[in-house]
Amino acid sequence: MTYEYIPSPNKSSRKGNQVGGLIAHFTAGGSLNSTVRYMCNKIVAPDSVNSGVVTIDGVKYYDAQASCHYMTGREGKTIRLVPENEAAWHAGSKTTKPKLQAKGALNLWTIGHEICNWGGLLKRGDKFYCWPSNWTKEYKGPTPLHILRKCQPAVGDDFYRTGGKTDGEPLFAEGIIEYWEPYTAEQIKSVTTLWKELIERYQISREFIAGHEEVDPTRKIDPGPAFPWDDILDELYPKMVAPEPEELKPLEEDQIYELSLSKKEGRNEPGFCTSILSILR
């Protein structure tokens, strides 16, 4: 399949490494368009902001210092930001899960796939809120899923535990997030289609497909518990079903005599084992 290409400057060389893995993320953000623009350093920064910015033609933009190879929006559209033969900046931490440690720095040999989703939501009364502006942005999406997930203390520098506050009661008691934005059916269909292409192109085994939270568990929680891992991977890697064993019929008296006679005569000519099996059946 051909994907629209909007190049991000946030990329580097794979240093000769071959693609052998895939890491899934959620964007913790809004629309596909705005998130793509952010990862392409196209969000204008206020004049008051002087750090974490890049100046292009006299205009200051937020310097994302992050990217991915593909990003899928809530309506199912997928955009490519970095060519597959280059490294996207999507998983820079070295706190990796053992199964992914052996091949070294993750960005050098994995494909990064961002999926538009707010992630954890905060409930106040009958409404839900997502993280911008200290959890004051009202969530307007599909009915949230109620799934309890306890975060590690270091996740997002207490981002999900305190909502960015430095004092007062934490917004998420004991770091437990209860509500999550669901992924859309259109997204899951697009994710499955893309991953099938990548798996076939690079012969990626199931053990080398992981979530960001698996390779960086002390800091990340994406793609989160709302992501239907089993449904997607079971479709991409069908389980082998063992055939039912053949039912052996009881031997008749003449068959028992034939086997006994064969043993006495020491028959071992070619095809003898096959004939014995035909008797047993």
Q: Which residue has the higher pLDDT, 99 or 196?
A: 196
Q: Which strand ranges, in their side-by-side order, compose the sheet holding 145-150?
A: 137-138, 127-130, 120-124, 176-180, 145-150
- Predicted local distance difference test score (pLDDT) of residue 277: 44
Query: For 229-254, how does the pLDDT look when each residue is reduced to its tens digit (9 = 90+)?
Result: 999 999 999 976 666 666 666 656 66
Q: Directed axis angle between helix 185-202 and helix 229-236, to 10°?
A: 40
- Predicted local distance difference test score (pLDDT) of residue 160: 58
In the predicted model, is pLDDT for residue 78 greater than 70? yes
Are 217 and 97 contacting, i.e. CB atoms less than 8 angstroms apart?
yes
User: What 3-state DSSP class applies to 198?
Assistant: helix
**Cis omega (within 30 of 0) for bond into 225:** no
Are 140 and 245 contacting, i.e. CB atoms less than 8 angstroms apart?
no
- Predicted local distance difference test score (pLDDT) of residue 159: 55
| Euclidean distance between CA atoms 181 and 119, whole angstroms | 6
In the predicted model, is pLDDT for residue 16 greater than 70? yes
| Euclidean distance between CA atoms 212 and 210, whole angstroms | 7
- The pTM is what? 0.80
Which two structure tokens, joined as six digits, stand for 239?
């389980």
